[in-house]
A and B are shown apart, each in its own frame.
Chain A
Amino acid sequence: MITNPTRRRATVKLLAPLVALGLVAAACGSDSDDDSSSTDAPTDSSAPAGSDVPTTEMEMMDGPTIRLRGQDFSESVTIAEVYGQFLHAKGYDVEVLTPAGFRTEAIDSIQNGDVDLIIDYIGGSLTALVPDAPTSADPDEIAALIGPAYADIGATLLNYSSAVDGDAFVVRGDSEATTISDVAGLDYVFGGSAACFEREQCFIGYTDPDLYNITFADTVTLEFGPLLGEALSAEEVDAVQWNTTAPQIAENGFKVLEDDLGLHPAQNIAPIINTEVLDAYGAQLGADLDELSALITTADLLAWNTETDIELRESDAVATEWLEASGLI
C-alpha cells in the first residue's frame, strides 16, 4: 500500500510526454475555438461558446475565460479543482489547465499571461518574490509584503485562507528530539528536495551558524513527496523537509519538530489573480473567491491529501465531493 503513491508518480511521469503532446494539440485547437467564439458572441448571446459543460439552468457571468492551473503535487491539484469547480458553479467561464511545474512556473505563467489564477502558499510566494525580506509567522505581515510584489507583475493577491500547509521538519516517531534545535547534537542524515538546499527557510537556515547551526552527517536529495516518507521509514535518512499536511506523517507515526527559532514562514493558501481579469468581472469575482478561501481549513487540506495520496482517489472527484458536502455546488 505504501508503495502505491510512488508507483503512481512513476506512471504519471511516463505519461507526461504524451499528456504534453495532447496539451499542445488541445491548446492549438482551443485557440481557434476562442477566436471563433469571440466573433460569434456578439451575434449569438444565447449560446455561450467555449464551455464543455451543459449550462442550461446556469446564468453565465459576462467576462473573459479564467484559466487556472495547480502546481504539480496532489494538494495543489485538488485546491485548483476546488477553486475551478466553485467558480464554474458560480457561472464563471473557467478552464482548469493540466497541473504543471511548481511555484516558479506558476508565478512566471501569471506574469506572462498564460494563466489567470493561481493559488499559492503565501510564505513560499514571499521567498520567490521578495527573497531579501525577513520571514514571519504572521500571515498579515507576509500578505503586506507580497501584495505589492504581485501588483508589480499585474496580479492581485486576494484574502488568504485560514488553511495552512506549512514547512515541516519531520523525524521518525522514536527520535529523541522535540524541537529542531534538539537535532543539532544528533548527527542526523537530512533528506530534502533540490530546492530545499538553496533556501534560507530550509537547509541553509538549519545549518546557519547564527540560527539552528545543525551539522548533518550527510544529505540526500530526494523528490518531494511520498519518497521522503519511504526514505525516513527505511532509515536512509533521519530527518526530512516535508509539509505539515502530508498525510503520511500520521500514517507512519512520524513527528513534526517544533520550529523553536521561528524559521518557517506562515504558509496560508491564497488566490492570486490577473488584475485585468479581476477588474473585468467587477467586485463580484473577488468576493466569491474570498468567500471560498474563508471556508477552507487546514483540516480540509489534510483530508483531501489523505483521499488523494493514501486512498488514491482523483483530485477532481475529491474536490467535487467537498464542494457538495459544503453546500457550495
Chain B
Amino acid sequence: MPDSARPLPGQVAVPRDIGFVDWFFDVGTWTDKGGILDSLWETVLLCSIVTIVAVIVSVPIAAALAHFGKAEVSTTWLVSISRAVPTFAIAALLVPWSLRRGWGFEPWPIFIALLLLALVPIYLNTYTAISQVPDGTVDAARALGHSETSILTKVEFALGASVVLSGIRVAAIQVVATEPIRAFLGGDGLGRYVRDGFGQNNDTLVIGGMILIGGLAALTGLIFVLLERIVLPPGVRRLARQQGDRTR
C-alpha cells in the first residue's frame, strides 16, 4: 500500500508487514522527526530529571532521619506502602486534573507518578546505608572532634555511599522501565512504539519498542556500575564487597 508508506509529519506510519530488520536498521527510523532518536531523547530527559529530583528530595531527608535515629518506623512504613500504589493509576488520575487546570498532558502527571516511584528505593537505601554504619565508628569520629554534620557527610555517608548509589541505580532503572506509560496518557517517548504497535496491530513496532525500552534500562544499570567505579574510593568499594560477602 503506497499510501501508508507515505511519510507523515511527526507520526509513525509503518507498514504492518514490514520486517523487523528492515524497520529497525533503517536510518530514517532513527533520524526522522518523531523517530527513535527524538523519542529516546524525550525519555532520557524525563527520566534524568525525575531521578535527579528524587535524589535531591530523598537523600537529605533519609540521611538526616537515619543519623538522628528519628521516625524510623513511620517514614519507612509511609514510603514502603507508597510502593503498593500502581504508578499508572497515579498518572491516569492526575491527567484529567492537570488538563482542567490548563497544564496539559505533560509533564506534571507523569512526572509526579514517576517521582513517587523513584523516591522509594532511594529513600530506603539511604536510610539503611546511614543507619548500618557501626556506632563505634560514629563515636570514634565524634571523639576526634567531628561535628554532627561532618560525621554525617564525611563518615556515615562516605561509608554508606555504595548502598546509596545502588538505591539510585534501582530507582533509575525502574523509572526508565516505567516511563513508557506516558505514551498511553497523551505523551510520547519510547513507549510510543508499544502504543502504536498495539493500536495498529503491528508486531514490529511492539517488539522494537520493547527492545528499545529494555535496552535503555539495561544501559542505565551499566552506567551506574561504571559510575560506582569512578565515584567510590577503592577502600569503600572493598568495604562494600566485604559487607556483601558477610551478608551472603
- Residue numbers of A with Cβ under 8 A of B are 2-3, 6-7, 9-11, 13-14, 104, 131-132, 193-195, 197-198, 200, 203-204, 207-208, 215-216, 218-223, 227, 230-231, 233-236
Determine the residue in chain A with the shortest Cβ distance to B106: A236
- Main secondary structure on A side of the interface with B: mixed
Q: How far is the CB of B101 from chain A (nearest CB, A)?
A: 9
A-B residue pair count with CB separations less than 8 angstroms: 93
**A-B CB contact pairs (8 Å), 5 listed:** A10-B89, A198-B13, A215-B9, A231-B99, A236-B99
Q: Which of B11, B13, B198, B201 has the most CB of A within 10 A?
A: B11
On whether the beta carbons of A197 and B196 are closer than 8 Å, the reply is yes
Chain A residues whose CB sits within 8 angstroms of the CB of B6 once the complex forms? 204
Chain A residues whose CB sits within 8 angstroms of the CB of B186 once the complex forms? 220-222, 227, 231, 236
Q: Tell me, in angstroms, the Cα distance from A215 to B8 when the chains sit together.
A: 10
**Among the listed A195, A207, A231, which residue makes an inter-chain contact with B105, where contact means beta carbons less than 8 Å apart?**
A231
On whether the beta carbons of A104 and B201 are closer than 8 Å, the reply is yes
Determine the residue in chain B with the shortest Cβ distance to A207: B8
Among residues 101 to 156 in chain B, which have CB atoms less than 8 Å away from a CB atom of chain A?
102, 104-105
- Residue numbers of B with Cβ under 8 A of A are 1, 3-4, 6, 8-13, 16, 86, 88-89, 92-93, 95-97, 99-100, 102, 104-105, 183-184, 186, 188, 192, 195-196, 198-202
Given A10-B88, A10-B92, CB of A230 within 8 Å of CB of B99:
yes
Given A194-B198, A218-B10, CB of A3 within 8 Å of CB of B97:
yes
On whether the beta carbons of A204 and B4 are closer than 8 Å, the reply is yes
Chain B residues whose CB sits within 8 angstroms of the CB of A132 once the complex forms? 1
On whether the beta carbons of A204 and B13 are closer than 8 Å, the reply is yes
On whether the beta carbons of B88 and A219 are closer than 8 Å, the reply is no
Chain A residues whose CB sits within 8 angstroms of the CB of B12 once the complex forms? 197
On whether the beta carbons of B105 and A6 are closer than 8 Å, the reply is no
The 10 tightest CB contacts between A and B, nearest first, are A194-B199, A234-B99, A10-B92, A3-B96, A194-B196, A195-B199, A198-B200, A104-B201, A197-B11, A230-B99
On whether the beta carbons of A234 and B100 are closer than 8 Å, the reply is yes
On whether the beta carbons of B199 and A234 are closer than 8 Å, the reply is no
Q: Which of B99, B188, B196 has the most CB of A within 10 A?
A: B99
On whether the beta carbons of B199 and A193 are closer than 8 Å, the reply is yes
Q: How far is the CB of A219 from chain B (nearest CB, A)?
A: 5
Q: Tell me, in angstroms, the Cα distance from A233 to B102 when the chains sit together.
A: 10
Q: Tell me, in angstroms, the Cα distance from A161 to B16 when the chains sit together.
A: 32
Q: How far is the CB of A72 from chain B (nearest CB, A)?
A: 12
Q: How far is the CB of A111 from chain B (nearest CB, A)?
A: 14
On whether the beta carbons of B93 and A219 are closer than 8 Å, the reply is no
Q: How far is the CB of B104 from chain A (nearest CB, A)?
A: 6
Q: Which of B6, B102, B200 has the most CB of A within 10 A?
A: B200
On whether the beta carbons of A204 and B3 are closer than 8 Å, the reply is yes
On whether the beta carbons of B88 and A13 are closer than 8 Å, the reply is yes
On whether the beta carbons of A227 and B95 are closer than 8 Å, the reply is yes
Chain B residues whose CB sits within 8 angstroms of the CB of A230 once the complex forms? 95-96, 99-100
Question: A132-B1, A230-B95 are known contacts; what are 9 more A-B pairs with Cβ within 8 Å?
Answer: A3-B100, A6-B95, A6-B96, A104-B201, A200-B3, A204-B8, A220-B105, A236-B104, A236-B105
